[in-house]
Amino acid sequence: MSQAMTRGEVQDLVGKFAAENPKYRDALLKDPKGTIEKQLNTKLGGTKVVAVADTADTVHVVIPYAAPEGELSDADLEKVAGGKQDIQAECTALALGGAAAGNTVTQINL
């Protein structure tokens, strides 16, 4: 049985792979959406994906989306996750350092 990953879990996984694999990092910078779709074996639909790389003298700060009053925030949506936009991905124990038996994410070898 696969378990849906939250946006934060996907970001953590992608960041881990990018830090450990220079070819993956390059592919992510060139085509972030396509690389993540291939890795998770899913389509992200109309979701825009932008990849930027920190350097020795530049740090990027990501400011989370703040929903207008009356709308659910990303954190609230993750608590009640369900429906069409869920990212169904399975993570291998190898990909997560042995922590996730029964889940699988495709590690892309470039």
17: containing domain: 3-89
Residue 48 lies in a domain: yes
Q: Give 23-37 pLDDT, tens digit per residue.
A: 999 999 999 999 999
Which is it for the CA torsion 38, 4, 78, 72, positive or negative?
A: positive
Residue 47 lies in a domain: yes
Q: Give 57-101 pLDDT, tens digit per residue.
A: 999 998 877 777 777 666 677 766 655 444 455 444 444 444 444
Residue 28 lies in a domain: yes
Residue 110 lies in a domain: no
Residue 104 lies in a domain: no
Number of domains in the chain: 1
Q: Which pLDDT score is estimated for 6?
A: 81
Residue 34 lies in a domain: yes
Region of residue 6 (phi > 0: left; psi between -120 and 50: alpha; otherwise: beta): beta
Q: Which residue has better confidence, 110 or 14?
A: 14
Residue 96 lies in a domain: no
**Is 43 strand, coil or helix?**
coil
Tokens, residue 38: 């291939």
